Structure 1
Amino acid sequence: MKRFFICLMVIIALIACNNEKKEPETTSETTDIQKKWWKEAVIYQIYPRSFKDTDGDGVGDLKGIIEKLDYIESLGVNMVWLNPIYSSPNADNGYDISNYREIMDEFGTMEDFDLMLNEMHKRDIKFVMDVVVNHSSDEHRWFQESRKSRDNPYRDYYHWWPAEKGEPNYRYSLFDPKGDAWKYDSITNSYYLHYFSQKQPDLNWENPKVRQEVYDIMKFWAEKGVDGFRLDAFQFVSKDTSFPPLPEGYEKDVIKYYGMGPNLHKYLKELNKEVLSQYDVFAVSEGAGSTFEDAHSLVDADRNELQMAYHFKGMDVGNSLEGYELSEFKEVYTKWDSAFAKEGWLSIFLANHDVPRMVSKFGNDSPEFRAASSKMLNTFILTMRGTPYCYYGDELGMTNIAFDSISQYQDIVAKNGYEKTINEGGDIEQYMTELKFLSRDNGRTPMQWDDSEHAGFTTGTPWLPVNENYQKVNVEAENNDPNSCLNYFRDIVKLRMDNPVLVYGDYELLFTENKNVYAYTRKLNEKKMLILLNFSTENTSIEISEKLKDLKLVINNLSDVELEDSKVTLKPYQALIFSYK
């Protein structure tokens, strides 16, 4: 296994759910549906640094989002999730927070935030705040105080290990090139814990004062009108503070030893009571434990904890240069749908700020197939049970950028992994090859608005380069093309919004053994739809059990379709949706 792939898999494993339990392929009939507005939402995720810059500093800002709210509204989505916009020294692009009640200067002011939120609500668009409280920045006042002395009132806000007890037992750090999550600090002759970067010390949730600080922060934003919270790395907050030795082979199920700690459910119930139950908000945690039971324990309604599971098992698929088998993809999503058919609620997504571009990983980003496969993948996201998360730029079919030099990367994971590979004498050429495909920076390049310089993202120098294909792949060009990825995305979002069967309906997998086609039905009461998705470059014919004259074609991502009696021939990356008459 090569260097970067190993690093990425460890990261994903730490935030993933690795369940081997077998589940049936067909869910049972939906009964007693508990309808909620957050189940019916379509969420549009924005990486704010890369969306729209209005002041020429090369970094996206809140005014840029405000400027583009009419565009967001035109997509048909009804909720926006922003990655962190708090004050931060930006060691990890805002996931290292130095003040939870201030807006980062690069993004604007609190007045800008208030205006943005108000303008979203005017358009019936709800807003999700990213809450990062497994760790803070080492520049946060709490940590600065915590370092001063062992008897400082803020000392127990973090995990400290006195050096006279000897070195603490090893813990893996996701972002540290040395790989050790304990950092020695000479001021008090102690080590502090950081599961991520050295500049992201882990908060001590065993301390009730820390928990109350977090609840007060969330109340602050809820009072402003925020509609939901995405809890970053939250399954890590509860830890066995004796920090026992890790057993041999722990890497195979690291979440068992890093996440879902002994008091996690206690903290979530407390958070629900203190915050979530007091406002009309929902909360979703990054990660869902290591079993289906873990996931249900987080989100089932009678648990009074969270509302939605955001599992990463689907992100395990395709994490190699060799690609993936459709059978694995189908198995993952079928098993998770089945496990949540009666209780709980899932998120559905194929991309976010921590993974490559959707079409480059799961589709085909060649000029011939980019548009078709982008449309096909968006069809999948928007026809599955669960709340869809659509990542900015995927509505256009934006692709990986494929940097050649480490100097082009901004991501701390990429840079530290490069350093680690060199220090350990690894294969740097192989590392760079895998980085080009899997790097998080692929999904963070600037939004492509038009064919002007820097794709209309900024008048300055963008913080990350714009993809070279921006002259063809951009909002302006696609807006004027009725057959574009953008206009197809609008159509498929509207179809979902108009058809509750695509939100709440039962899911049944068809043609399980077909290597090219992912086919399934969604059924709710008397309403039923058939979804056919060709994940390959080959024409593929299938025989369905119904006569096509008894079905109505409602979505086709290509210009033509081959139908004959009960036979459907799907062209490469074709997506078809039929409604039963």
Structure 2
Amino acid sequence: MSDMDTLIIEAKKRNIRIIMDLVVNHTSSEHPWFQSALQDPNSKFHDFYVWRKSIDGDVPNELQSNFGGSAWTFVPKLGEYYLHLHAKEQPDLNWENPMMRQEIYRMMNYWIKKGVGGFRLDVIDLIGKDPDQLITKNGPTLHALLKEMNQHTFGKDDLVTVGETWGATPEIAQLYSDENRNELSMVFQFEHINLDKQAGKRKWDLKKLDPQELHQVFSKWQTELAGKGWNSLFWNNHDLPRIISRWGDDHEYRILSGKMLAIYLYFLQGTPYIYQGEEIGMINYPIQSIDEVDDIESRRMYDERIQSGYKEKDIIASINAKGRDNARHPMQWDASKEAGFTTGIPWLPTGDSGEINVAAALDDPNSLFYTYKRLIQLRKELPIITEGTFKPIPTGKAAVLAYMREYKGEKLIVVVNFSNKSEQFFVDYNQQLKKILIHNYKKEVNHVLLPYEAYAVLLH
């Protein structure tokens, strides 16, 4: 705790606020609350969780865990099932219990008093669940609970809150992030994240990304939240594969495609998030065998698919493309042993960091790191990025994406080539070019877009 106190204090000196990851949908099965609930059905903590009796000697209903299998686990001693929408070691809290809610609020206020800058609320769209009606996301009590949480905790301070909401639509996101509703600052929505899976299938059933479909999703969120809510902008997090490996090119065009992805995202309206290693272009960590996998979701999928007759090489290919371990290998600081992360043995291997490490990025003036630094600087300098209107620009090319931002007579145009092939395209500006804000190639902006070329220009 002394380390945490020091971190908060030293960060504040540098005008940095620490936002904490807050998990309030579930606890660990080793948490004292749950241990008390297991030992004594009359304990006040028993009703802190969701319990049901069996139905005809079987599970209460067909609810499934997000990691596969039933969402119910039987406790013989109690003759009851408890609910876990994730692993059985993660029992869901009972948000219908006002005493439990007050304990959560007390805990949150403890951290607020310590000086944290806000919270990232893990799977927060699950707390209003109604398991008897098979409702998990966006349940009937969700927004009332968030208003109550806001009132009792972070609503009294200048704090940032972002909810992880896998089931959000633009309409639902407006409810969360409309400042007049007193719920959250913003949410993470994942509609763009699911575009490379086959329709109606799980994320492991892959299809090639359609850049225009991706552009349509981002455009929809930019348009429908304008003036009514606030966007979160992200490519990566701890549950997703590395974006360069996923939708860029992690070989010949690693840096150029990484810059393209950053440029496309950073001129949109919303709050951008950088996941550790994204700014130096870290890539997926391929494995050869399930024995190398730590992630429970990947391991359960592997077992299910082996039993269903899938070929092992196809399952491993899916894990290498989408597995969560890809983002969980340690940060690569330099080219030394264990990438400068530790002198011990890390939870997952660091591998050969080679040229992909912080030291190399800082030494190279053309590195992806300095592109991110420039993009952040532009966002601070140009109100058009935070305040301007958004309009997609049709390109007639499957891989070429373009959009315009406009504010107080100024126009900003972003053009990217989302492929490893050259494309013919040029925006007819109809106005005088004022300034090239950023460009990932050292060449003129013209009608030939090279592989993964991206630029942003400001017009009079």
**What interval of TM-score do these two structures reach, taking the shorter chain for normalisation?**
over 0.9
The residue number in structure 2 matching 1:154 is 45
CA distance in 1, matches of 2:138, 2:394: 36
Residue 221 in structure 1 maps to residue 105 in structure 2 = no
SS at match of 1:301: coil
CA contact (8 A) 2:123 2:166 kept: no
The residue number in structure 2 matching 1:294 is 172
SS at match of 2:299: helix
The residue number in structure 1 matching 2:9 is 118
Q: What are the equivalent positions in structure 2 for 1:464-483 lying under 5 Å apart?
A: 464-468=348-352, 470-483=353-366
The residue number in structure 1 matching 2:137 is 259
The residue number in structure 2 matching 1:509 is 392
CA distance in 2, matches of 1:164, 1:289: 29
CA contact (8 A) 1:138 1:200 kept: yes
The residue number in structure 1 matching 2:439 is 556
- What is the aligned length? 452
Q: Amino acid of the residue matched to residue 223 of structure 1? A: K
CA distance in 2, matches of 1:522, 1:467: 41
CA distance in 1, matches of 2:75, 2:156: 40
SS at match of 2:111: helix
The residue number in structure 1 matching 2:234 is 349
CA distance in 2, matches of 1:548, 1:555: 19
Q: Amino acid of the residue matched to residue 310 of structure 1? A: F
The 10-residue stretch of structure 1 (317-326 or 278-287) with the greater mean CA deviation from structure 2: 317-326
CA contact (8 A) 2:125 2:164 kept: yes
Specify which of 303, 325, 350 is matched with residue 441 of structure 1. Answer: 325
Residues 439-490 of structure 1 show CA distances to partners (whole Å, capped at 9, x for unaligned) of: 001111111111111111111222111243x111111112111111112221
CA contact (8 A) 2:335 2:355 kept: yes
CA contact (8 A) 2:277 2:332 kept: yes
CA distance in 1, matches of 2:369, 2:206: 28
Alpha-carbon distance change, 302 to 408 in structure 1, aligned in 2, over 3 angstroms = same
Residues 226-248 of structure 1 show CA distances to partners (whole Å, capped at 9, x for unaligned) of: 1111110111111225x14x5xx
CA distance in 2, matches of 1:450, 1:321: 34
TM-score (norm 2): 0.94
CA distance in 1, matches of 2:54, 2:270: 48
Q: What are the equivalent positions in structure 2 for 1:263-278 lying under 5 Å apart?
A: 263-278=141-156
The Cα of 1:548 is off from its aligned counterpart by 7.7
The Cα of 1:166 is off from its aligned counterpart by 4.3
Specify which of 434, 457, 460 is matched with residue 578 of structure 1. Answer: 457
Residue 202 in structure 1 maps to residue 92 in structure 2 = yes
Q: Amino acid of the residue matched to residue 122 of structure 2? A: D
CA contact (8 A) 1:455 1:474 kept: yes
The Cα of 1:293 is off from its aligned counterpart by 2.1
Specify which of 349, 360, 368 is matched with residue 485 of structure 1. Answer: 368
Q: Which runs of 5 or more structure 2 residues have no equivalent in the other structure?
A: 198-204
TM-score (norm 1): 0.75
SS at match of 1:551: strand
CA distance in 2, matches of 1:523, 1:400: 37
Q: What are the equivalent positions in structure 2 for 1:47-66 lying under 5 Å apart?
A: none
SS at match of 1:192: strand
CA contact (8 A) 1:363 1:377 kept: yes
Residue 145 in structure 1 maps to residue 30 in structure 2 = no
The residue number in structure 2 matching 1:377 is 261
The residue number in structure 2 matching 1:432 is 316
The residue number in structure 2 matching 1:190 is 80
Residues 144-167 of structure 1 show CA distances to partners (whole Å, capped at 9, x for unaligned) of: 111123222211000111247743
SS at match of 1:130: strand
Specify which of 303, 306, 311 is matched with residue 189 of structure 2. Answer: 311
The residue number in structure 2 matching 1:88 is none
The Cα of 1:189 is off from its aligned counterpart by 1.0
CA contact (8 A) 2:21 2:121 kept: yes
Task: Please report the RMSD computed on the Cα atoms of aligned residues, expressed in angstroms.
Answer: 1.7
Residues 148-189 of structure 1 show CA distances to partners (whole Å, capped at 9, x for unaligned) of: 23222211000111247743011111225xx10100011111
The residue number in structure 2 matching 1:280 is 158
Q: Amino acid of the residue matched to residue 245 of structure 2? A: S
CA distance in 1, matches of 2:46, 2:343: 45
The residue number in structure 1 matching 2:121 is 231
The Cα of 1:333 is off from its aligned counterpart by 0.3
The Cα of 1:543 is off from its aligned counterpart by 3.1
The Cα of 1:370 is off from its aligned counterpart by 0.6
Q: Which runs of 5 or more structure 1 residues have no equivalent in the other structure?
A: 1-109, 247-256
CA contact (8 A) 2:256 2:453 kept: yes
The Cα of 1:432 is off from its aligned counterpart by 1.2
Q: Amino acid of the residue matched to residue 351 of structure 1? A: N
CA distance in 1, matches of 2:458, 2:301: 49
CA distance in 2, matches of 1:425, 1:198: 26
CA distance in 1, matches of 2:339, 2:314: 31
The Cα of 1:286 is off from its aligned counterpart by 0.6
The residue number in structure 2 matching 1:64 is none
CA contact (8 A) 1:534 1:540 kept: yes
Q: Amino acid of the residue matched to residue 271 of structure 1? A: M
SS at match of 1:454: helix
CA distance in 1, matches of 2:182, 2:421: 48
The residue number in structure 1 matching 2:248 is 363
The Cα of 1:409 is off from its aligned counterpart by 1.3
CA distance in 2, matches of 1:219, 1:165: 44
CA contact (8 A) 1:184 1:190 kept: yes
CA contact (8 A) 1:501 1:522 kept: yes
Sequence identity of aligned pairs in percent? 38
The residue number in structure 2 matching 1:412 is 296
SS at match of 2:267: coil
Greater RCO (CA < 8 Å, at least 6 residues apart):
1
CA distance in 1, matches of 2:445, 2:180: 48
